[in-house]
Amino acid sequence: MEIKIEKLSDSDIEKQGIKKWPVWEKEPSRFDWSYDTQEQCLLLEGQAKIQTSGGKEVTIQAGDFVTFPKGLQCTWHVVEAVRKHYRFE
């Protein structure tokens, strides 16, 4: 299971209505998480390192559009406070 990271143009963000999605915020911390459904999110602020149960680590930061696949088990390490728009499929 792979975490997909993209950069979206302002027009793509507008077309998908991402700015209308709910906002989630988290202070620097570390926690385990699993995805029952696919999540898409646009990081507005901050940085986090996500380590999958398979040992792969990715860093996400402000400006990244991230897709977390259904069934993913991982550990979040929020390095700088995160603020993101999100949507579960």
Instruction: pLDDT band for 1, please (50, 70, 90 cuts).
Output: confident
| Distance between CA atoms of residues 89 and 86, nearest Å | 10
Tens digits of per-residue pLDDT, 32-85?
Answer: 999 999 999 999 999 999 999 989 999 999 999 999 999 999 999 999 999 999
In CATH, what number does 4-88 get? 2.60.120.10
The predicted model scores a pTM of 0.95
* pLDDT (mean) for 9-14: 97
- 82, 26 Cβ separation under 8 angstroms: yes
What is the chain's percent helix, strand, coil content, to nearest 5? 10, 60, 30
Distance between start and end Cα atoms, the chain:
16
Strand-pairing partners, residue 85, are 23, 42
